[in-house]
Amino acid sequence: MSTDVFRHDPDDADNPARTAFAVTPHDTNELQILPKALYFNATGWVTIRVADAAADQAFHVVPGQILAVRAQFVRVTGTDLTIEAGAPVGASAIVALA
C-alpha cells in the first residue's frame, strides 16, 4: 500500500491534483467537480465557463497543454478538438485534474 506523506496537507488549488477524470463537453451540464485544471490530448478550440465568470471564453489548445482554470462548464458549442495521431487508443480529448 502506498504511503501518502501529504495526506495531512490541505488540498489547495495550487497543490497537485488528487484525481483525474475524462470530460465530455456539454452545453448545459456543469462539471460535477470543479477541477484545478484541464489537460488536453487534442488540438483545437475549447469553450469553457470558468467558475464565478459571467461569460464563456474560448481557448486555443494543443496536445499536452494544461489550462489552469476552475472550469464549471466545458461547452460543446464552440469546442472543436482533434485528437492527434499517435494518441493512446481511447484517450479522452479533455481530462480534468481535481
DSSP codes of every residue in 5-62 = TTTTS---TTSPPS-EEE----SSPPPSS--SEEEESEEEEEEEEETT-SS-EEEEE-
**This prediction's pTM:** 0.88
Question: What pLDDT score was predicted for residue 35?
Answer: 95
CA distance 55 to 11: 27
Question: What pLDDT score was predicted for residue 21?
Answer: 95
Q: Examine the pLDDT at 90 and tell me if it is beyond 80.
A: no
Task: Quickly state the pLDDT bin for 2 (edges 50, 70, 90).
Answer: confident
pLDDT digits (tens, 9 = 90+) for 35-75: 999 999 999 999 999 999 999 999 999 999 999 999 999 99
- Asked if 69 contacts 31 with a C-beta cutoff of 8 angstroms, the reply is no
